[in-house]
Amino acid sequence: MDHRDNNLGFFNSAAAKKYSDRVAVIDMSKTPPTELTHARLDDRMSRVGSALQKAGLQPHTRVLLAMENRSEFIEAFFGTMRAGCVPIPLNHKLGADTIRFIIADAGAGAAIIDPMCHPEIAQIVEEASLSLRVATTPVPTGWLDYALWVSESDASELRAPEIERGQTAFLPYTSGSTGVPKGVLLPHDGMLWGIRVAQKYWPAEPNDRALIAGPLFHKNAMRVSVKPKLRVGGSVVILPRFEPKAFLTALAEYHCTHTGGVPAMYRMVLAEEELLSRLEFPALKSLEMGSAVVGADLIAAVESAFSVPVIEAYGLTEGGGPLREPMDGRGSPLGSCGLVAPEVDVKLVGAEGKEDDREGELWVRSPAVLSGYNNRPELDAERLVGGYLKTRDIFRRDENGFFYFMGRTDDQFSCGGENINPKEVELLLVQHPEIVDAVVVPVPHVVKGVAPAALVTLRRDAEVDESALKEFTLANGPAYAHPRRIFFADELPLNGAGKIDRTQALSEVTERIGGDGSIGSD
């Protein structure tokens, strides 16, 4: 048996041979943008793997990978797996102490970094005394130069190691809304299963080209764009970071067929009305939106602006994409994440622990589910039950089997005895014509215990005040759920994955309220 067949790192090898001279990656982090063919990308992946083996790294060694969006991330990520080692794709926007925790918890033995991605990353890695330290420019003193390290390596010397069933391919960390980061053990066989199933039921094509604006360290970019497109000979365009004008320009100029993002990104894109009116997107097939509750109004606005369907996506680091658009060509109803994906088993479990066909926490079972949490047996026992992953995500299922994301169990709170899901209030707020985006958080209330308050961003030249917005929520939603205070911000706080940072939002709202952070009796 060829061990490469069971190694996620070699997922693109067949395409590299068949489409060797076609462009695989367009890297816009460099000036001018650089292009890598499939053959060149494949060669550089193998050079990374060979260099790691030559340095003495054994299979299963964990390698910290900390970079901004750039082609070297893709090379190092899959190249590390080719050596049988385990990359740790780091959210480099985390604080220094959190990064130190991840390095220690993962037991990292080496690091490949971009020193510019975090002001303290090089120092943190040096403090950890890792056996191998490789960096892109500017290379710290005493480190190996990534470009030279790869160019001097011989791809032909790479020895593909045997991959055991359930062996960990890579180790991302997810912090969620509370607690220390959690290492997610994702196996080679489960990840390869996910690629094969996606291609079987929703096949990508060699002419497909995805624009990546979200962070490469986030699993969504790999699952939705990098792996499906490069596996069949397609290509990806990498933006160093999301910026509305650059996003729209690249989407048009590079004739991208697909892209995805969180709702906040699309709301910012829609605000670029003048640029949108000038650009054309002739190759665009569909847009994907997810990682938060998506309002029907936003989907309709995006579809109108781009004249292509919007797919509301749902996926999670620990469990892949268990819900997908119908295979028969039907579109999902507005606001729905779709149907249960083929070869996946799901169920909804209500608050009392009983199955509920209509609403509850989504439990998922498939080969793409994590094998466990790193060093967290108590979390394994809590979240992995009978082969199912308890996602902590609440869904509603309609009579036709379509699922609707309602929010996180972690985010719910009770206001005077009434359960409030912040996402539902946020959806109500963004229906106001002057609001671009919103986040709702619970704050202390002298009568209710806690009550909702909101932080919102407005359209340019908006003329609306807090009172008018409160009246809007009272007129269009339940009185108990209306935000007691609404504050305006130039932008909402986002975490490294581009999602709303609720902890930071709560801190900003509390600071705006002042005093002890509590609100009055209304």
3-state SS assignment for residue 210? strand
Q: What's residue 402's pLDDT?
A: 96
Residue 326 or 180, more confident: 326
Supply the CATH number for residue 466's domain: 3.30.300.30
Long-range contacts of 245-254 (CB under 8 A, 24+ apart): 245/272, 245/275, 246/28, 247/211, 247/213, 248/272, 248/275, 248/276, 248/279, 249/275, 249/279, 250/28, 250/211, 251/211, 251/279, 251/281, 251/284, 252/279, 252/280, 252/281, 254/26, 254/209, 254/211
Q: If you search the block for the tokens 């050079």, which residue do you land on?
A: 47
Q: Per the omega criterion (within 30 degrees of 0), is the bond before 32 cis?
A: yes
Backbone angles phi, psi at 338, to 5 degrees: 105, -160
Q: What's residue 124's pLDDT?
A: 98
Residue 257 lies in a domain: no
Distance of CA 196 to the CA centre of its chain: 20
Mean pLDDT, range 377-405, rounded to an integer: 95
**pLDDT of residue 36 exceeding 60:** yes
Evaluate the CA torsion angle 96, 100, 106, 109 in order and state its sign. positive
Q: Which helix (H) or strand (E) holds 254?
A: none
Residue 388 lies in a domain: no
Res. 521 pLDDT band, cuts 50 70 90: low
| Span 433-464, pLDDT tens digits | 889 889 999 999 888 888 999 999 998 888 89
Res. 405 pLDDT band, cuts 50 70 90: confident
Closest CA to 220 of 254, 262, 250: 262
Burial 223-235 (b: 16+ CB within 10 A, else e): bbbbbbbbbbbbb
- 41-55, 245-259, 467-481, 498-512 — which is least confidently predicted? 498-512
Residue 485 lies in a domain: yes
Closest CA to 131 of 103, 158, 95, 159: 103
Q: Cα(480)–Cα(451) distance, rounded to whole angstroms? A: 8
Q: What's residue 293's pLDDT?
A: 58
Closest CA to 173 of 88, 264, 259, 47: 88
**pLDDT of residue 329 exceeding 90:** no
Q: What's residue 2's pLDDT?
A: 86
Residue 333 lies in a domain: no
How many domains does the structure of the chain reveal? 1
Residue 450 or 346, more confident: 346
Q: Cα(492)–Cα(485) distance, rounded to whole angstroms? A: 16
Res. 496 pLDDT band, cuts 50 70 90: low
Q: Cα(37)–Cα(16) distance, rounded to whole angstroms? A: 8
Q: Are 359 and 348 in contact (CB under 8 A)?
A: yes
DSSP tally for the chain: helices H, then strands E: 17, 28
Residues 6 or more apart whose CB falls under 8 angstroms from that of 5 comprise none
Residue 23 lies in a domain: no
CA–CA distances in Å: residue 46 to residues 9, 485, 521: 9, 55, 64
462 CB-contact burial (10 Å; exposed 0-12 / middle 13-18 / buried 19+): middle
- 49-63, 78-92, 421-435 — which is least confidently predicted? 421-435
299 CB-contact burial (10 Å; exposed 0-12 / middle 13-18 / buried 19+): buried
Res. 330 pLDDT band, cuts 50 70 90: confident
pTM: 0.87
Mean pLDDT, range 149-165, rounded to an integer: 97
Res. 480 pLDDT band, cuts 50 70 90: confident
Residue 424 lies in a domain: yes
Q: If you search the block for the tokens 């994301």, which residue do you land on?
A: 405
Residue 449 lies in a domain: yes
Q: Cα(203)–Cα(231) distance, rounded to whole angstroms? A: 11
Q: What's residue 343's pLDDT?
A: 97
Mean pLDDT, range 189-194, rounded to an integer: 97
**pLDDT of residue 177 exceeding 60:** no
Res. 295 pLDDT band, cuts 50 70 90: low
Q: If you search the block for the tokens 């020895």, which residue do you land on?
A: 159
Q: Are 171 and 80 in contact (CB under 8 A)?
A: no
Q: If you search the block for the tokens 């001018």, which residue do you land on?
A: 32
In the chain, the amino acid numbered 310 is: V
Residue 37 lies in a domain: no
Res. 76 pLDDT band, cuts 50 70 90: very high
- Mean pLDDT rounded to a whole number for the chain: 92
CA–CA distances in Å: residue 115 to residues 140, 406, 480: 8, 39, 49
For 430, the domain range is: 413-513
